[in-house]
Amino acid sequence: MSFAVEFWGVRGSIACPSPRHVVYGGNTSCLEVTAGDQRIILDAGTGIRDLGDSFLKRDVRQAHLLLTHVHWDHINGFPFFAPGYAANRTFEIRAAHLSRLGGVREVLAGQMGQPTFPVPLETMRARLEFQDFDAGDQFWLAPGVKVSTAPLNHPNGATGYRIECAGKALCYVTDTEHVPGVPDQRILSLIEGADLVIYDCTYTDEEFVSHVGWGHSTWQEAIRLCVAAGARRLAVFHHDPSHEDAFMADVERSARDTWDGATVARESMRIQLA
Ligand SMILES: [Zn+2]
Ligand SMILES: [Zn+2]
């Protein structure tokens, strides 16, 4: 069974298309996981627009969308996800910690409401199935594709995911803030022995001290967690828009020098796990 991830958007906060962001990319969070015959979209940042066009070209008619949370950089590509407007397609959309706000459907419909967006959610002709759950739950997307979740430390909450398929494990852990010197036990449990950890590395440790309370972490903390949990590989992710290509190249060198399992996520990058 094939198990792979492709990065369609790697930024946090806001999209940053500019000549200084062409190497690593300017779209916000969106990943495509292929797990056997299942397609899983992780987050619906601006990267989902290109992914949607690719789905139309490849005639992908069914996918799961797992949202970490609903801050703009993780959902505001959704109204531009063209397959959502096409008939004879099914998308199962899941998010945690939104039940008391009316659920994930209400939140996605809200961002497509007047007067901030002219096309309401009801215009989407695909079959959209919404499921709310609690961070910490486990569920199966299909036989052989297991998902475990954990709550993250982030304003308004966020959910970390562990997807297991073909004997391998991929973890998606963004957005989250660490406490220096106190490894997050819930994250350590989630990523234990994982083959790939995609982690919120918005800042460097040096920048972090002036961003305490902003809800994000660092590539150095990512490495500390991966090493402590016996994970095999790290993808540095959720790049700050102010981190232009030259800066990210420095991060890539420093992270690799610190731990040879580290790599920096960039748009179009694909990692095959099985
Ligand atoms: Zn974010
Ligand atoms: Zn966030």
Instruction: Give the model confidence (pLDDT) of 13-51 as tens digits.
Output: 999 999 999 999 999 999 999 999 999 999 999 999 999
Looking at all shown ligands, the one closest to residue 69's CA atom is 2
Residues, CB-to-ion distance under 5 Å, ligand 2: 71, 175
Tell how far the Cα of 156 is from the centroid of ligand 1, in angstroms: 12
Instruction: State the pLDDT confidence band at 96, using cuts at 50, 70 and 90.
Output: very high
Tell how far the Cα of 1 is from the centroid of ligand 1, in angstroms: 31
Tell how far the Cα of 199 is from the centroid of ligand 1, in angstroms: 11
Tell how far the Cα of 51 is from the centroid of ligand 1, in angstroms: 18
Q: Are 263 and 235 in contact (CB under 8 A)?
A: yes
Strand runs labelled E in 10-156: 30-35, 38-42, 62-66, 90-96, 127-133, 138-142, 145-152
Instruction: State the pLDDT confidence band at 194, using cuts at 50, 70 and 90.
Output: very high
H/E stretch holding 271: strand 270-272
Instruction: Output the six-digit token pair for 220.
Output: 């150095």
Q: Are 251 and 243 in contact (CB under 8 A)?
A: yes
Instruction: State the pLDDT confidence band at 201, using cuts at 50, 70 and 90.
Output: very high
Closest CA to 35 of 133, 147, 126: 147
Tell how far the Cα of 113 is from the centroid of ligand 2, in angstroms: 21
Instruction: State the pLDDT confidence band at 72, using cuts at 50, 70 and 90.
Output: very high
Partners of 62 in the β-ladder: 90
Looking at all shown ligands, the one closest to residue 45's CA atom is 1
Tell how far the Cα of 71 is from the centroid of ligand 1, in angstroms: 6
